[in-house]
Every structure is written in structure tokens, then in C-alpha cells.
Amino acid sequence: MDLYTYFNEEEAEEGSCNWAIKAYSQPSREREKKEFCVQRKKKTKNRFFTPEKMVGPSRPQFVFFGSSIVQLCFSHGGWGSVLSDIYSRKADILLRGYYGWNSRRAIQVLDQVFPKEAPVQPSLVIVYFGGNDSMGPHSSGLGPHVPLNEYIENMRKIAIHLKSLSDTTRIIFLSCPPVDETRVGSGLSGIFSELIRTNELCQNYSNACIKLCQEMGVEVVDLFSAFQKRDDWTKACFTDGVHLSAEGSKIVVEEILKVLREAEWVPSLHWKSMPTEFSEDSPYYLVTADGKRTLNPSEWTFHREVQWD
């Protein structure tokens, strides 16, 4: 199968499969469809499946897993888009970000997002949960708040699961960053109840995440401290007091690259240490001024606003 497929177990029990994409052209489609249905009992209801390889060559996979700071990491010059540029031709970036989620919600889907039986496991997983967990509890019992002790145990479960994927899956946790309390308090639209989001709470959850990672041997980025190294962080680092601006994302990228550069991982996952895909010289590149050779652009970085180390 060379396209995403959608499997509905109830329909399969009746001998048919509901295929989300029906752009078939190869003669073997009907045979593939039957084979897929035969395996229905092994599959989870209403789950997306992909073949082991959609396109080649295979690259290391970096997965970003977290709440809105992950989901939005390709917006506003976000840290995800910057890392995708840095790792172009080196790794495939996969985004698993979910607006509004907390660690309690995350552990409910760990097996779906990171199935242990997957034929290919990620080389790197960057995890962020904590901002929503750290919000004060709502009187109704609803809302994203997760008590600190439960948050710690949830993050522990995430780390244990990711460590079990493979011996070469590396993990980086991002701790809870600070917020601009003034904008958070004044920016409510009337749609939401009062948001209890303070830097005291953010720091408590950040410290707890860092301590857990130190205990478990997991690399961690202290975003709470990193942001506040900049004097104008409340104005420069956020779009709305919580979510990251391009300047805030630059801090995240810098801190992640620092971990990747200093970690004693074999193989290294720092971009300068990873091979560049199809980096060999070619007579089809642009010709030099003397007309005697071509220039290989495979490693060019001059287009970047920041020359990352």
C-alpha cells in the first residue's frame, strides 16, 4: 500500500473496508484490499495506518509531542519550522501537537502515537506538557489542571514508554516556560472562565519536570529559566502571553540544539554531525565563474536568518 488508509473494524466484519483515499491506479488494489481486511482482528477500530515507507531514502524521524506549544510550532516563525529547515535533507520532522492537552490526556494515547510494534521507531522525541497542567483548578472540576504529583507520574509514564521503543530512541523534555501574567489576565474574551495561570505555578511544574528528568536520565531544557535570561522576555517571547513568538521560538531552538550538540549520543543527532542526503557533487549544479566546475549547494545555509551552531 502506498497511500494512507483508514480502517473501520465494523465494516470489516461485514467483509468490506472503508478506504479514506480512493485514488487507486495499480491493478493489485483489490488484492491489497482483501489482504488488509483479513487482518482486521489485529487492528484497532478507527485507526490510521501507514506503510513502513512512503518515500525514500529513509531518514531518522524526529517526533514533537505535546500541547499547543507543539501544535503551533510551525506558526509565527515557530521552533518546529526552524528545526525543519536546519534538519532538511537530514531528518524527517513529525508533528504530534494537540491544542489544550495536558499530561493526563497524553498518557491516554501513548500507545496510539508511539506504538511499540511499529517497524520504524523515532530517533528523537521532544516532549512538552506542563503549561496546561499548571493552571489553577476550576471549581467545576473541569478544565486542564492536573495536580503536581499526578503530573510528575504522568511525565514519568511518558518517559518510560518512550524509552521502551528502542535502544536508540533519544528523548528531550521541555519544561514549562513562564507566561506574561499581565496579558494572560487581560486578554480573556468572555468565552472562557477566569484563567489561573501564574509564574509561581509555572515554575513549580518546571522544577518538577527538571527534577524528574534528572532522576531518569532524560535530557531536559529548562525553558522557565531560558526565557528570563532576556530582559524583555514578557514582550518579545509571546504572541498572546502564553504561545510563542518567533523570538521565543529562537530560544527554544537554541536550547534544543545545545542539548543535541552536548549529548553523548551515538550516533550524534546534532545537525552538523548527520549526513546530508544526496550531497555528492553533480555536473548539473550552477557553474562557477571560471566555467570549469559546478558549485555544490548541499550544505549552504546562507538563507537562514540565524546561523545556528
Q: How far is CA 105 from CA 68, 98, 109, 198, in A?
A: 13, 10, 7, 22
Q: Percent of the chain, pLDDT > 90?
A: 74
Task: Name the strand (E) or helix (H) holding 7.
Answer: strand 5-7
Q: What domain range is 72 assigned to?
A: 61-272
Give every strand in the sheet of 124-128, ordered side by side.
92-97, 61-66, 124-128, 170-174, 219-221
Residue 46 has pLDDT above 50, yes or no: no
Q: Which residue has the cell 495536580?
A: 147
Catalytic residues: 67, 240, 243
The pTM of the full predicted model, rounded to 2 decimals, is: 0.83
CB 116 within 8 A of CB 165: yes
pLDDT for residue 53: 61
Provide the CATH number for the domain around residue 162.
3.40.50.1110
The answer as to whether 129 is a domain residue is yes
| Alpha-helix residue ranges (DSSP H) falling in 77-230 | 79-86, 103-108, 110-113, 148-163, 181-186, 199-216, 223-227
pLDDT for residue 184: 85
The answer as to whether 300 is a domain residue is no
The answer as to whether 27 is a domain residue is yes
Per-residue pLDDT, averaged over 110-137, amounts to 96
The answer as to whether 126 is a domain residue is yes
The answer as to whether 286 is a domain residue is no
Are residues 32 and 104 both part of a single domain? no
pLDDT, one tens digit per residue, over 145-155 is 999 999 999 99
The answer as to whether 306 is a domain residue is no
Name the residue with higher pLDDT: 30 or 107. Answer: 107
pLDDT for residue 272: 97
**Structural domain total, the chain:** 2
pLDDT for residue 13: 41
Are residues 167 and 262 both part of a single domain? yes
Per-residue pLDDT, averaged over 80-102, amounts to 97
Separation between Cα atoms, residue 238 and residue 253, nearest integer Å: 15
Residue 266 has pLDDT above 80, yes or no: yes
pLDDT for residue 74: 97
Question: Which of 272, 288, 303 is a domain's end point?
Answer: 272
The answer as to whether 288 is a domain residue is no
pLDDT, one tens digit per residue, over 214-240 is 999 999 999 999 999 999 999 999 999
Task: Name the strand (E) or helix (H) holding 126.
Answer: strand 124-128
Residue burial 133-166, b: 16+ Cβ < 10 Å; e: rest: bbbeeeeeeebbbbeeeebbebbbebbebbbebe
